[in-house]
Structure 1
Amino acid sequence: MSPVSHATSEPRGEGRWLLRFEVHVPYAYESLWPFLTTGDGLRTWLAAADVLERRLGGAVTLRWLNSGTTVSGEVTAWDTERVVEYTVSEHGRIRFHLEPVGTDSTVIRFLNERAGSDAERLDCLAGWHDHFEMLEAALAGHPADWPSWTDTRWSELRASYASFGRS
């Protein structure tokens, strides 16, 4: 069974959303941290980090390799091996909070606070879910094959989120 379950979302004012995921992975947080905070790690499941200053206040530029979207901003939280947060144009606040479970498992509490229409909310829910499945595969030694990526899984996820309404 996938460690990624459906996310929840809640409105945060007109045209603003808070998306939440809780992802359970069978890896110690020390193993997971580089996948969230290094260029090599991020490329395996999320985006190319064209700029990544690994410190609070550092610059970050992420380029999604499946869509070509590029966003820039800064590192707005950095607590080594526990919390990293990027606040970037278009995608808003992206926060990963790691909680160890025993010695060989971690819960990722993920938040994405952003602006957008309801359609964009559904796009993002499906997108993050798809990327978290890619993270699971990358952790298992199977990084994303970006030239072969298609939106088939994303489309399935988006339809699933749309069927839930405002979850």
Structure 2
Amino acid sequence: MRGSIEQGISQTHGNTHILHFLVRLPLPMEQVWPSVATAEGLATWFTPADVLEPHLGGAVSLRDTGSGQITAWDVDRVAEYTLEGGGRIRFHLERDGEQGSALRFTHEFEGERETERAWRSRFERLIEEVG
């Protein structure tokens, strides 16, 4: 099974934009987790993490996105980064069948910095990386 990007939804509420994606990956959650919750993993498909303290309240600095803190952390399931000026980025992993994972992604931000197309391209790199 190859991974797939099943949904890409963009919403706007005032000046706040919210992007949602559902990405299906052919690996168990435990094997996908490092790709969304470690500096090494994020650098392979998204952006270098100059700082990533892997615990609730830990500092995070994503080079192309901003710095802030980890506002949700449930090992192998949820990593959420709230960034000054960069909004909130949330990765939520769920089991998908016997061997797969479903990544529910949300990026909430203000302004026009991010696009659905940019995230779709990143998730295509993630699928290539883990697939």
Same-fold status (TM-score > 0.5):
yes
Larger radius of gyration: 1
Alpha-carbon shift at residue 70 of structure 1 (Å):
4.8
Give the equivalent residue in structure 1 for 2:117.
Answer: 126
Deviations 1:103-127 (A, max 9, x none): 31011111111111xxx27x42111
Which of structure 1's runs of 4+ aligned residues deviate more than 3 A? none
Give the equivalent residue in structure 1 for 2:54.
Answer: 54
Q: Percent identity?
A: 43
What's the RMSD between the two structures over aligned residues? 1.6
Counterparts of 1:127 and 1:6, CA distance in 2: 14
State TM-score, norm by structure 2.
0.91
Indicate yes or no: 2:100 matched with 1:105. Answer: yes
Indicate yes or no: 2:83 matched with 1:82. Answer: no
Give the equivalent residue in structure 1 for 2:66.
Answer: 71
State TM-score, norm by structure 1.
0.73
Q: SS of 1:7's equivalent?
A: strand
Q: Which amino acid aligns with 1:62?
A: L
Gaps of 5+ in 2: none
Q: SS of 2:69's equivalent?
A: strand
Matches within 5 A, 1:19-30: 19-30=19-30
Q: SS of 1:56's equivalent?
A: coil
Deviations 1:57-86 (A, max 9, x none): 0000011xxxxx351010010011111100
Matches within 5 A, 1:141-160: none
Alpha-carbon shift at residue 2 of structure 1 (Å):
5.7
Counterparts of 1:28 and 1:91, CA distance in 2: 29
Flag the structure with higher strand content.
Answer: 2
Counterparts of 1:135 and 1:11, CA distance in 2: 26
Counterparts of 2:8 and 2:85, CA distance in 1: 20
CA spacing shift, 1:134–1:36, aligned 2, 3 Å: same
